[in-house]
Structure 1
Amino acid sequence: MIPFTQNIEDVIIEKFLRAKTSIVIVVAWFTNHRIIETLIKLRKYSNINIEVLVDDNVINRKFFFAKHEEKLKKAGIKIRKQTIRNFNHNKFSIIDDRTIITGSYNYTIRANRNLESIIVFDDESIASYFTRIFKFLTIENHIDENVELLFENFDFANKLISTYYTFNVNLFKILKKDILIGHCFTHPNGLYDEISYEPGLIFNPKYFLHKELRDVIKRQKNNEYSFEDIDSELCQEFELPIQKETIKGHYVTAISDFNHSVSQEIAFDNGTEIDYEKFGEDYEKLEMAVSNYYTRKFEKTFNKEKLKTILTEDIDIIIEDYIWINNFKPFLNDKIIADIYRRTAVKTLRKS
């Protein structure tokens, strides 16, 4: 694993020129003429299989599809179409089913003037992970192996989806009766106030789509809630959506004298994004941060068989949120979510 923060365009071109069998490119924007011409030359002098997927946005329509699509196709390069509507913000390339280039760098000229970073892996298992993402984006109705687990275990799927999935209004209305609310409250245990919680919608930024939950929270804020509200699962002790750091921070505060800065350091260490501004003036530290981030990420990225074992351990999906972020989120969309609930409903009807 090697991080790069300078001369990134040259690094990418060099890696492409070493390809022997295949290159797969998935980027949000692709307007870099040097990289495009490199791909065309590669096809001219070799039989390498090259596939490109870019987001179908205004910039790409004007500066990629209009200017380059025909000559890329003429060279034998496959321009793949995305089968889902979500904005494709991925930035990775897979070389020979083994080498991965990924990071913040888009394949544009402007990216050369930005503070960007990439990391290069030489690892078949990591390459396999990105290949699965590519299949999900380009194959109609593709079900990833990890998502198969959600079809096989609805209770776990419902808990995970209720907690993390970014519902739209229509999908939420369809699934509302099955979505778990969850709970989170403190109570004395004789030594300190302990926190108890169950995953569900109260941890989800889309909690406000639940009208009754939203109404109870509004009455709480206005000191207008009733005894029925207090006894309801909709009544909340913490501000929504509840964050993982709230849980971890409570443990730290209640059990020890660690100050607020410690909990913030813990939260930062386990975050899902790199604070590039923090490291902006120091390339050496930036490269170290990028390397550490991807090391943590792929240590917690699993295939179906490994996930099966982990899920038998009754894992805490709030604290161990990498289960969602790395292993399920990249492979889900509205249609698949709806199918998970629909198939479960059909099974329930058949049993009855």
Structure 2
Amino acid sequence: MKKLVSAIVVLSIFFAGFLLGCSNKTISHENALVNKTASAQAVLPGEIDHPNIVNAAGTIEVAFSPNGGATDTVIKAINEAHSTIKVQAYLFTSTPIAKALLNAQKRGVIVKIILDKSNETEKYSAAKFFIDNKIPVKIDHDFAIAHSKVMIIDDSTIITGSFNFTKAAEKNNAENVLIIRGNKKLADYYNENWQWRWENTQSYQ
């Protein structure tokens, strides 16, 4: 009985130490992320450094994935562009969406793209495709992850949601995408955020 009690005590000490070690590792990991994000070189502009309420206006189109038409919905909105398309993306591997942006540029639309730094090393990132086709690309190094998935079309239509511009988001993942048309005030806030990042990012090399 004494041996059993001793064994239980030893195991209890072992697991307590194990859990403490895991906790310390988690804290260290979180601190590393905090330290990494704390190195951001720009402060949010005054217009968007706090929550903003925007009155409902215009229309909202919604699509889901997998295989719910999310990619086609994004492409349809891109095809509506007349003057500008401003992009923020975490991952970008969707060939159909990349080609739609290129086609927009060919018909005279100004296209500019900001990508997360992971696109510098991703084997299948569309970054090189855009650069090869003279579409300006900048890389956001300021955060642990530049996680926005946004397009601003003609300074008035917003594409947003969880949907990355990737094949996996269309075929494999549970995602959503919203196309918000006709809400200029909302678009102004997204433009403010996009311009802030464009001015504080580096051209893709």
Give the TM interval when normalised to the shorter protein. Answer: 0.5 to 0.7
2:81 pairs with one of 19, 23, 37: 19
Per the alignment, residue 104 of structure 1 pairs with 162
1:131 pairs with one of 168, 176, 191: 191
Provide the rounded CA distance (Å) in 2 between the counterparts of 1:71 and 1:117.
26
The one of the two structures with greater contact order (alpha-carbon pairs below 8 A, sep at least 6) is: 2
For 1:44-83, what aligned pairs fall within 5 Å after superposition? 44=106, 46-57=107-118, 61-64=122-125, 68-82=126-140
2:200 alignment partner, SS class: coil
Deviation digits for residues 147-192 of structure 1 (CA, Å, limit 9, x no counterpart): xxxxxxxxxxxxxxxxxxxxxxxxxxxxxxxxxxxxxxxxxxxxxx
1:61 alignment partner, SS class: coil
- Contact 2:116/2:141, CA 8 A, preserved across alignment: no
Q: How large is the Cα RMSD of the aligned pairs?
A: 2.0
Provide the rounded CA distance (Å) in 2 between the counterparts of 1:54 and 1:60.
12
- Contact 1:26/1:52, CA 8 A, preserved across alignment: yes
- Contact 1:25/1:93, CA 8 A, preserved across alignment: yes
Provide the rounded CA distance (Å) in 1 between the counterparts of 2:195 and 2:119.
24
Change (3 A) 1:77 1:59: closer
Provide the rounded CA distance (Å) in 1 between the counterparts of 2:69 and 2:118.
27
Provide the rounded CA distance (Å) in 2 between the counterparts of 1:88 and 1:137.
10
Provide the rounded CA distance (Å) in 2 between the counterparts of 1:76 and 1:59.
17
- Contact 2:117/2:141, CA 8 A, preserved across alignment: no
Gap regions ≥5 residues in structure 1: 142-352
- Contact 1:29/1:60, CA 8 A, preserved across alignment: no
Change (3 A) 1:4 1:70: closer
The one-letter amino acid paired with 1:88 is A
The one-letter amino acid paired with 2:84 is S
Per the alignment, residue 44 of structure 2 pairs with none
- Contact 1:28/1:89, CA 8 A, preserved across alignment: yes
1:31 alignment partner, SS class: coil
Greater fraction of residues in strand:
2
Provide the rounded CA distance (Å) in 1 between the counterparts of 2:121 and 2:88.
13
The one-letter amino acid paired with 2:188 is S
Per the alignment, residue 40 of structure 1 pairs with 102
Greater fraction of residues in helix:
1
Provide the rounded CA distance (Å) in 1 between the counterparts of 2:141 and 2:192.
14
How far residue 133 of structure 1 moved from its aligned partner, in angstroms, is 1.3
Change (3 A) 1:60 1:110: farther
Provide the rounded CA distance (Å) in 1 between the counterparts of 2:93 and 2:81.
21
Change (3 A) 1:72 1:115: same
How far residue 136 of structure 1 moved from its aligned partner, in angstroms, is 2.2
The one-letter amino acid paired with 1:39 is L
How far residue 37 of structure 1 moved from its aligned partner, in angstroms, is 1.5
Provide the rounded CA distance (Å) in 2 between the counterparts of 1:63 and 1:38.
17
- Equivalent pairs counted in the alignment come to 137
The one-letter amino acid paired with 2:103 is K
Per the alignment, residue 164 of structure 1 pairs with none
Provide the rounded CA distance (Å) in 1 between the counterparts of 2:119 and 2:101.
23
The one-letter amino acid paired with 2:114 is L
- Contact 1:4/1:119, CA 8 A, preserved across alignment: yes
For 1:201-240, what aligned pairs fall within 5 Å after superposition? none
- Contact 1:83/1:138, CA 8 A, preserved across alignment: no
Moved over 4 A (4+): none
Provide the rounded CA distance (Å) in 1 between the counterparts of 2:140 and 2:159.
20
Per the alignment, residue 61 of structure 2 pairs with 2
